[in-house]
Amino acid sequence: MNIFLKTEDEIELMRQANLLVGRTLGELAKHIRPGVTTGHLDKVAGEFIRDNGGEPTFKGFPNPFGAPFPANICTSVNEVVVHGIPSDAAVLNDGDIVSVDCGVLLDGFNGDSCYTFCVGEVSDDVRQLLKVTKESLYKGIEAAMAGHHVSDIGAAVQDYCQGFGYGVVRELTGHGIGRDMHEDPKVPNYGTRGRGVLLKSGMCLAIEPMVTMGDKAIGLLPDRWSIRTIDGKPAAHFEHTIAVRNGRADILSSFEEIERVEGKLN
């Protein structure tokens, strides 16, 4: 296992990459509504990232089968947990949810963040799933400080989500991040406190709860990228990139632009 501690200068470069991801997601928030295709969102994201000096890191990224990802972002609708492929044929409908996962390479460092959006009027039980999943992300971040363990992050996420009766996906994890999009260590969303890799100041992690309304079991769709719930119930996914500190973690990505568009900030 190779874990790279980042210098302060490197963390600041990572912050800029992650803030570009946040601005991209904020731009997409302006477009998400019934009748819009996920293919349109992909085009908007690719143009915005490149216009701001970055490169979409998901484009061309290979899966375990050797197939390159064909788009700039992942758009995962309803029961699709992660890695949904944007398409001009995939129209968002009133009541859908769509998680948009975005990665950017800027000045040699990677940013990675995800947000699950409501499309039009969404049912109260689905809104509750999104609320709890987002809150669990911050529970995990609170546990991500030097002297704690990677498993403390997952335990915080798992305990909170399972308290609401939700499933926590096991097969997919968060990860270290830096010059490469995926670095060591893996960051599961479940676990027993006090186990696994010891967290040190300067470690940068992408923490990303993936939570299901029903059973946690997942399966791979025929496109060999999209992963969905087996029971067909919706799933939510939120992600921040953080830098571990001796005290509270430093959140390098941002939801502020999204929340401003959604009317949650003045």
Write down the pLDDT at residue 22.
98
Write down the pLDDT at residue 89.
97
Please list, in sequence order, all residues whose beta carbon lies within 8 angstroms of the beta carbon of residue 138, skipping any fewer than 6 positions away.
Answer: none
Write down the pLDDT at residue 265.
52
Strands 218-220 and 227-229: antiparallel
Rounded CA separation 162/152 (Å):
15
Residues in the chain with pLDDT values less than 70: 264-266
DSSP 5-30: PPPHHHHHHHHHHHHHHHHHHHHHHT
| Environment class of 151 (CB within 10 Å of its CB; exposed 0-12, middle 13-18, buried 19+) | buried
Short-list 238, 239, 257, 241, CA closest to 249: 241
Give the H/E segment covering residue 217: none
Write down the pLDDT at residue 1.
83
Query: Do 153 and 143 contact (CB within 8 A), yes or no?
Result: yes
Round the average pLDDT of the chain to a whole number and report it.
97
Query: Which amino acid type is present at position 182?
Result: H
Write down the pLDDT at residue 263.
86
Write down the pLDDT at residue 266.
40
Strands 204-207 and 235-237: unpaired
Q: What's the distance, CA 61 to chain centroid?
A: 16
Query: pLDDT per residue over 223-244, tens digit each?
Result: 999 999 999 999 999 999 999 9
Q: How many residues does the chain have?
A: 266
pTM: 0.97
